[in-house]
């Protein structure tokens, strides 16, 4: 993804609760985020939730947020916590799985 000015980038920090571990959810997130040209990361938490930081064009980030809620048939999402981060923020070159939080 080209480095757009911060005011053209939307950044969301999302925590997904439910049946989202042990089903390939993070790998599916990576694949879907890459297809949308989103950068950032995704990781598991010890409480069974999955956390992701999404960064990119607003339309793509919103599409990814919606997909995380109900786009993977094997996932049973109970609730999501979504926080929009304001600039300045760290910038990412790709989207990947990172170490558990």
Which listed residue (26, 62, 65, 96) is catalytic? Answer: 26
Question: Is 79 known to be catalytic?
Answer: no
Question: Is 96 known to be catalytic?
Answer: no
In the chain the first and final C-alpha atoms are separated, in Å, by: 26
Q: Would you report the helix, strand and coil content of the chain in percent, each value rounded to 5?
A: 25, 35, 40
Check whether the bond before 7 is cis (ω within 30° of 0): no
Which listed residue (44, 62, 65, 91) is catalytic? Answer: 44
97, two tokens: 């799985």
Total residues found in the chain within this entry: 101
- Provide the 8-state DSSP code for 37: T
Helix (H, G, I), strand (E, B) or coil at 10: strand
Residues designated catalytic: 26, 44
């Amino acid at each position: 993804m080209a480095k757009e000015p911060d005011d053209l980038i939307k950044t969301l920090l999302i925590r997904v609760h439910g049946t989202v571990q042990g089903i390939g959810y993070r790998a599916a997130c990576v694949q879907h985020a890459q297809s949308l040209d989103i950068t950032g990361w995704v990781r598991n938490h010890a409480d069974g939730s999955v956390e992701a930081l999404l960064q990119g064009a607003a339309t793509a980030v919103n599409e990814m947020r919606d997909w995380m809620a109900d786009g993977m048939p094997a996932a049973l999402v109970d609730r999501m916590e979504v926080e929009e981060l304001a600039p300045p923020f760290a910038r990412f070159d790709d989207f990947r799985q990172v170490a558990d939080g």
